[in-house]
Structure 1
Amino acid sequence: MPASRRDFLRTSAAYAAGFAGLRSLVHPSLARGDALLGAIGYGELTPDPSGLLDLPAGFSYRVVSRTGDAMDDGLLVSASPDGMATFAGPDGLTIVVRNHETKPGDAGPFGENYERLDKIALDRLFDDGAGRTPGVAGTTTFVYDTKRQRVVKQFQSLAGTERNCAGGPTPWGSWVTCEETTDTPGNLLDASDDFTLVKEHGYCFEVPATAEPRLADPTPLVAMGRMRHEAIAVDPRSGAVYETEDLDESGIYRYLPDQPGKLVAGGQLQALAIRGQHALDTRNWESHAVSVGDRFEVDWVDLDHPESPDNDLRVRAFAAGAARFARGEGMWYVGEDQTANSEGAIYFACTSGGIKRIGQIWKYTPSRSEGQPGERSEPGVLELFLEPNDSRLIENADNLTVAPWGDLVVCEDRQGDVVRLVGVTPTGQCYTLAHNHVQGEFAGATFSPDGSTLFVNLQTAGMTVAITGPWRG
């Protein structure tokens, strides 16, 4: 963020007190109303007659995909849509790659009794479940016409994986999808003995963004680590890939590919450490170790044996001095042309971080020599960007993306009568973009390449919606 933000935070007590007072009025309740932030947000929300999604005046939504919809390949849209990203397609169309955080027993692509399993070759599944009960998560892709606001086609694009939660787009036109599980054969969580696994889970997979129906090669990116993955982001300058882990005590990771752009070719996995502070606990749970605006120089700790059969990457990382985070979740690269300064950055959410355990958002600015010997003398910098500790502002930040006008758009991951999409300005001000009334999380917020359409999932309801209106920028 611009230096002016830090100056305000550190040198103007009067401003800070007044700003805190303003923030306490931003969301006087979880009911409607953002009038005080009309200048930075989109004004008061209008109640939806259908009781699904409240939006600002002038905005509208349509449900474009639902769990159980028949797709063009004869398979069905799986339940629990989660992380997504968009890509420019042919003829001005938009390609959307979408995760499904499903587990064995959930509604999947093959039907309730796997009656559609014959529509797919078993060798295109990562885990075929011994030919009986393959993984029902993976990814689907839909092609969208933003001018006509309609789906052109949709199809399964990765199959046989479990609990594909978030992920991230790459600069070379693919989606990296992440399994949020470390299930193994004989140790299957949240399912009965009727389900079979034949492979270990907990990996990332790369899915090409294509408008033509086909399944991605289900090759796990083993060198990126086996863990309860959440999201990734790629620094296009260095090719480094950053990863979050969804546990109460988790690490933040970096993967340096041997060949930038070819993740499957191998590389070095590392964990983030704060220079001069061994195993710093950033969660602020037991003690207030980090304040908003604090900046830390970063070192990276090498991790061997990324396949981690004992699921101990974070344990080994902490022993080597890596920092502790609270449920790392959404992560997104914000480019140089999308910020108020000349540097790109990685933003990521820690869903249960902070004194009140309702979330933090962090910013990592890579070194100009990221992943190279020169970064030792000019390290990357980590900053606590936001820790509101006020549920009226934002509660349990999860997936996030960057809007065309430069703000973050953050999905709340919680239950309640009203759950929000929240905008966050580069100076840390929060405003509400939408409320859902399905009593479950928003997930996968992402804008179309032309900036006209915000796609987001209502995970519990199994819906993907497209939101349009007078967006800025």
Structure 2
Amino acid sequence: MDRRTVIRATALGAGTAAFSGVLWQQAFADVAQPGPSPYGDLLAPDANGLQLPAGFSARIVARSREQVPGTSFTWHDAPDGGACFPDGDGWIYVSNSEIPFLGGVSAIRFNVTGAITGAYRILFGTNVNCAGGATPWGSWLSCEEVPLGRVFETYPQGGRDAEERIRMGRFKHEATACDPDRQVVYLTEDESDGCFYRFVPDAWGDLGSGRLEVLCAGGGTSGPVTWRAIPDRDGFPIPTRWQVGAAKHFDGGEGCHYAAGVCYFTTKGDNRVWAYDAGTERIDLAYDANALPSGTAPLTGVDNITGSASGDLFVAEDGGNMEINIITPAGVVAPFVRLLNQPDSEITGPAFTPDGSRLYFSSQRGPGGRSGDGVTYEVSGPFRLTAPGHRSD
């Protein structure tokens, strides 16, 4: 399979709809390029300093160190990775707290109208909980971004204690993404020479036992890969990333998102979005800021990533212009939302509601630039719910 074919396969975004009909032929044949957003240009900022396309609106749902509206629960400092989960006719948004020793995870419950009906903790007393990932069975994997960091499986509905998943490796964890087709969990590592891993559980749905493997490949940005077992998942005295000589190293692994045979992951050190084609076991680039003329890259400081049912990827910036950028299946990258006057923060935790009509995310340090100034937002509007060219009837 040549590079052109690989990019065509890997560039299709989230949701199985993205792989149906004519969209397969419409996928871009090179890394994503700047272009017009399918939602149009950003408008003047709203009252909260958010610039959005026409038809979209935003509200604040939580602020660090303040009670979540309508509840007596105080929202955590430094909100980071997040995800949404169905809850009857409503949904739950979970959010990590990226602070030392007291990190953990909090949750906000919404009813069918979007009104907040509750907020509570689902993980306590862990260390620098950065990103993570949702599982197909409805739990949230919260990751510690420290040397010898751990993964905790938490339960958004509450009423059940979180469980430490030590078999998933001890390293500077960032994000996870579940691949139900191959029944593995992909993991990123936030080190300048970090690796890309997968955890193969002994039984799908039970992360208590299994083996940890690392992606191995040459020094390029595209081509075939293999997987090799990590000899010592505890990472001491030799860190996991240095245990396999053939392991491929990435410059600061960040967000991770799986959809329809492709696992996308970001690297902040070189401003790239990678695409791992799990079916053919190849990697390639979906976006590379360094390949664009100087000063023209719309997306820099790549960080958390999620996807919508339309096949679009949404990539948050740590710094940059404080934007979430969209990468479309047609290979266009453009701003979707921009936060003004927050130069010392980063955008974290982008996640869609189960019906795809609302997007949640946080400004980790808010306008004040401190962990206690975090703000969590909700954006609603006419999000594309099917892939372009795909008929839903």
2:177 matches 1:233: yes
**Residues 26-425 of structure 1 mapped to structure 2, 5 A cutoff:** 26=34, 37=36, 40-50=37-47, 52-70=49-67, 76-90=74-88, 92-103=89-100, 135-145=101-111, 147=113, 149-182=114-147, 202-210=149-157, 213-214=158-159, 216-217=161-162, 219-264=163-208, 266-274=209-217, 277=218, 280=219, 289-290=220-221, 294=222, 296-310=223-237, 312-317=239-244, 319=245, 321-335=246-260, 344-353=261-270, 359-367=271-279, 380-389=281-290, 390=292, 392-414=297-319, 418-425=321-328
Partners of 1:49 and 1:171 in 2: how far apart? 36
**1:131 equivalent in structure 2:** none
CA 1:307 to 1:4, structure 2 compared with 1: closer, same or farther past 3 Å?
A: closer
Q: Evaluate the alpha carbon distance shift between residue 387 and residue 260 of structure 1 in structure 2; reply closer, same or farther with a 3 A threshold.
A: same
Would you say the 8 A contact 2:71–2:118 is kept in 1?
no
Contact 1:5 1:427 in 2 (8 A): no
Whether the aligned pair in 2 keeps the contact of 1:331 and 1:400 (CA below 8 Å) is yes
Determine the C-alpha separation between the residues in 2 that align with 1:362 and 1:137: 29
Deviation at 1:426, TM superposition (A): 2.0
Residue matched to 1:433 = 336
3-state SS of the aligned residue for 1:56? coil
1:97-148 Cα offsets, whole Å, 9 max, x none, are 2111112xxxxxxxxxxxxxxxxxxxxxxxxxxxxxxx3111001112352x
What's the secondary structure of 1:314's corresponding residue? helix
Contact 2:104 2:123 in 1 (8 A): yes
CA apart distance, 1:69: 2.6
Take 1:313 and 1:75, find their aligned partners in 2: how far apart are those partners? 38
In 1, Cα distance between the equivalents of 2:318 and 2:353? 22
Aligned-residue offset at 1:2:
8.9
> 2:198 and 2:327 mapped to 1: Cα distance?
25
C-alpha distance in 1 between matches for 2:359 and 2:309? 10
1:442 aligned partner, one-letter code = I
Gaps of 5+ in 1: 10-18, 27-35, 104-134, 183-200, 281-288, 336-343, 354-358, 368-378
Retained in 2: the 8 A contact 1:453–1:468? Answer: yes
Q: Per-residue deviation at 1:45? A: 1.1
State how far apart, in whole Å, the 2-side matches of 1:433 and 1:178 are: 27
Unpaired segments of 5 or more residues in structure 2? 12-29, 367-373, 386-393
Q: What percentage of aligned pairs have identical amino acids?
A: 31
Q: TM (normalized to structure 2)?
A: 0.83
Q: Deviations over 1:143-177 (max 9, x none)?
A: 12352x32211100001101110000111111111
Compare relative contact order (CA 8 Å, sep 6+) and give the higher one, 1 or 2.
2
Provide Cα deviations, 1:291-323, integer angstroms capped at 9, x if missing partner. Answer: xxx3x2221111122112336111113x2x111
Report the secondary structure of 1:223's partner residue. Answer: helix
Distance 1:223 1:460, change over 3 A: same
Cα distance in structure 2, aligned partners of 1:145 and 1:453: 13
Q: Quote the offset at 1:3 in angstroms.
A: 3.8
Q: Distance in 2 between matches of 1:171 and 1:313?
A: 27
SS at match of 1:460: coil
Listed one character per residue, the Cα deviations across residues 341-384 of structure 1 (whole Å, up to 9, x for unaligned) are xxx2111001112xxxxx111111223xxxxxxxxxxx522222
Q: How far, CA to CA, are the matches of 1:45 and 1:311 in structure 2? A: 48
Determine helix, strand or coil for the equivalent of 1:46.
Answer: coil
The one-letter code sitting in structure 2 at the alignment partner of 1:387 is D
TM-score, length-normalised on structure 1?
Answer: 0.70
The one-letter amino acid of 1:42's match is Y
Instruction: Report the Cα offset of residue 50 of structure 1.
Output: 2.6
Supply the distance in 2 between the matched residues of 1:166 and 1:144 (Cα, whole angstroms): 22
> Structure 1 residues 140, 395: CA separation in 2 closer, same or farther (over 3 Å shift)?
same
8 Å contact kept, 2:6–2:284 = no
One-letter amino acid matched to 1:305: D
Native 8 Å contact 1:95 1:142 kept in 2: yes
Match of 2:390 in 1: none
> Which is higher, the Rg of structure 1 or of structure 2?
1
Aligned-partner SS, 1:330? strand
Q: Is the 8 A contact 1:408 1:425 kept in 2?
A: yes
Q: How many residues align?
A: 350
The one-letter code sitting in structure 1 at the alignment partner of 2:377 is V
State the distance in 2 between where 1:137 and 1:311 align. Answer: 26
CA contact (8 A) 2:7 2:285 kept: no
The 3 A distance-change label for structure 1 pair 467 and 74 is: closer
> Which amino acid is 1:352 matched to?
G
1:388 CA displacement: 2.5
RMSD after superposition: 2.4
More strand per residue: 1 or 2? 2
Asked if structure 2 preserves the Cα contact closer than 8 Å seen for 1:85 and 1:446, the reply is yes
Q: Residue 156 of structure 1 contacts residue 215 of structure 1 at CA under 8 Å; is this kept in 2?
A: no
Q: In 2, are the aligned partners of 1:364 and 1:383 still within 8 Å (CA)?
A: yes
Supply the distance in 1 between the matched residues of 2:318 and 2:118 (Cα, whole angstroms).
Answer: 29
